[in-house]
A and B are shown apart, each in its own frame.
Chain A
Amino acid sequence: MSRKSFNPDCDVREWTGAQRPYDILKEGAIALLVVALLTAGLALVFGSPDEKQVTIQQWSSADPVDFAATAYSELAGTSGIAGYGAPYNNASDGQFLGVTHLYLAKMVGVHIPIDPARTFVLQPLGTLPDAPTLRFALSTWKNASETQRGAWLDEYAKASLSFSHGHLTAAPLSLSNPVNELIASETAMARSGALDSTMGTGGGLYTTDYTNVLLFIADGGWFATLADHQHLLGDQWGMMNETGSYPGQAWLWLYTFWYQIHPFSTSGNADVDAWGIMMLLTAGLILVPYIPGLRSIPRRTKLYRVIWRDHYAGRV
């Protein structure tokens, strides 16, 4: 290039000066050995976390009332997933991206359809054999009008839930109200462990997809309490954290940072906004060599003088 257009942040005159012996393969072999030893040592000294998975069975045993309340919210359509929107359903518009007002998820549409009342309550209950009372409650529910269902749900919501001797009771409740039978059966089913396997996506013996079970567990309050104890909640910078005292995904610091500050900490669009910002910043990182100003920082900060101090001191 001509002398005139030489930009010190982009261009160099290739090196024609002195060379020195440098065995890159030996360097690589030593590096590999050191990293292998370090890995083996760290793994031996610190191990790795493996906090046991939780099941619907544990949840319904540890906190049957929270479980029942969650099952009720799925039936009533008031749960988190019931109001989620895309990709699960059309219940809400979801989040929109910053100033653009683009509802990205809604634009892509519903691809993992979930009707909470059916997926989380009615369908699993329908698989229970030899349960005449439950059968009757299910068909009563199925044949009832929307208004009738609403009245039953309202009545159930006003009743007080209690759990004793392995039984969930809601009182007071009229005898014709099937909701209690549905929720109590669901609780019994959960406590037996049957709900964990019935809810696997794909309907059958094999599954590698736990979308339904996980969404259901996450709709309850119990799961978040466990995470709170482990300091994993979003407003605890939990994304970076690991169970126990292990280091976690520290490299997510900037992503989780946005959730902690205004306006994102209180915004309903925090997720999509944080993603939008991170995409922009990542693009910025990738394109540093092309961004005037940013690419001048190394030359301006002069940290390179330390790196190449031997060269500048003429010691090479």
Chain B
Amino acid sequence: MSDILGALVNLDHPGHYISWGWFQMSYGNFAVVVAMVATFLVALVAPFPGRQKEKRS
């Protein structure tokens, strides 16, 4: 199973789940959603390159 092309991090084991009352989500999905929100926020606030070089026309 584990060849050179196999996964370095093995995710083939039973997942872990967050549950708040009736709400449940797998760690895998949770990580993706958190990363998505974080990327969105970073994209909003990170300075975009090249703005200093511009001149008004």
Contact = CB atoms under 8 A, between A and B. Distances in A.
Nearest to B6: A47
Contacts of B31: 247
A98 B31 CA distance: 35
A49 B29 contact: no
Interface in B6-57: 6-17, 22-29, 31-33, 44-45, 48, 50-51, 54, 56-57
Contacts of B44: 303, 306-307
B6 to A, nearest CB: 6
Given A19-B57, A231-B15, A247 B28 contact: yes
Interface stretch (A174-182, A184-192, A238-246): A238-246
Contacts of B45: 306
Nearest to A19: B57
Interface residues of B, number: 32
A236 interface: yes
Contacts of B5: 44
A310 B14 contact: no
Contact of B29 (A48, A236, A248): A248
A10 interface: no
Contacts, number: 90
Contacts of A18: 54, 56-57
Given A244-B15, A303-B44, A307-B44, A236 B28 contact: no
Given A231-B17, A303-B44, A306-B45, A244 B54 contact: no
A215 interface: no
Nearest to A41: B8
Contacts of B54: 18, 20, 316
Given A47-B6, A231-B17, A245-B28, A250 B33 contact: yes
Contact of A237 (B14, B24, B27): B24
A65 B28 CA distance: 36
Contacts of A44: 5, 7-8
Interface string A290-316: 000000000000010011001000011
A230 interface: yes
Contacts of B22: 260-261
Interface string A229-271: 1110000110011101111101001000000110000000000
A47 B56 contact: no
Contacts of B7: 44-48
A248 B28 CA distance: 7
Contacts of B32: 247, 250
Contacts of B11: 46-47, 49, 244-246
A240 B15 contact: no
A240 B26 contact: yes
B26 A247 contact: yes
Contact of B51 (A49, A303, A316): A316
A250 B29 contact: yes
Given A240-B25, A306-B44, A245 B14 contact: yes
12 contacts: A18-B54, A47-B6, A48-B7, A231-B15, A236-B24, A237-B25, A241-B28, A245-B11, A247-B26, A247-B29, A247-B31, A250-B32
Interface of B: 5-17, 22-29, 31-33, 44-45, 48, 50-51, 54, 56-57
Given A18-B56, A247-B26, 4 more contacts: A236-B17, A245-B13, A245-B27, A306-B44
